[in-house]
Amino acid sequence: MTPNLSALNITLSWDLFIIVFFATVMTFSFIMGKLETVKIVICTYIAILASQGIGNVLVRITGESSSVLQTMGLSADIAVLSIAKIAIFVILLITLMIKSGIDVHYESDVNFLVRAAYTILFGFSIAGLIVSTILSYASGRGILDTELPSVIAGIAGKSTLMQIMILNQDLWFALPALLLIGVGVMRNR
């Protein structure tokens, strides 16, 4: 007897993508543990700042040399620069995680539930930070720029979770830092 696959009415959407991304990041957070998850927060912030800076330099260089690029048959439109910025962000994040030498130490938590809660919160905040960063870069704007082009606004109109990510991007950028401060305050009281 074969299963009725038509009964599985799964529609690929941005909402599904965001849910799967959050679940994946949170699962990896549990696999890596709290200390590595905190390291990811730190490396993500560094990668965001570095990729934003490198992206700004690329925009400046391609703007100044646009006639040279056009002569060579190349174009540096916003889509190419956005993809480059996302690629730079991912490469920098992976490189920082592997080669940065950043090492996080906390005194051991007495309670397993406290460690698990920290891991869940940091995993959730990292997923939000990464998705917000990629959305910002994909829109062709800088981080925390509230004006979105019609391409991203069109996608957001079809996805409730995407709207939440875009409308609250300032919160997503601040949440991991606030959690780091909160954990530090809780650990040192």
Is the pLDDT higher at 163 or at 70?
163
pLDDT above 90: residue 24: yes
For the chain, the domains span 36-102+111-187
Measure the CA–CA gap between 180 and 169, rounded to whole angstroms: 18
- Average pLDDT of span 126-132: 92
| Percent of the chain whose pLDDT exceeds 90 | 29
If you ran DSSP here, which 8-state letter would residue 139 be given? Answer: T
Rounded-to-integer distance, Cα 126 and Cα 124, Å: 6
pLDDT of 134 higher than 70: yes
Structure tokens at 183: 């954990």
What band does 71 get if pLDDT is binned at 50, 70 and 90? Answer: low
Please answer whether residues 58 and 74 qualify as being in contact, where contact means their C-beta atoms are separated by less than 8 angstroms.
no
Contact between 62 and 69 under an 8 Å Cβ cutoff? The reply is yes
Cα 89 to Cα 94: distance, rounded to the nearest angstrom:
9
Query: Once rounded to an integer, what is the mean pLDDT over residues 69-90?
Result: 74
Cβ-contact 143, 133 below 8 angstroms: yes
Instruction: Please write the tens of the pLDDT for every residue from 35-66.
Output: 888 899 999 999 999 999 998 888 787 776 55
Confidence of residue 13 (pLDDT cuts 50, 70, 90): confident
List pLDDT tens digits, range 83-95. 888 999 999 999 9
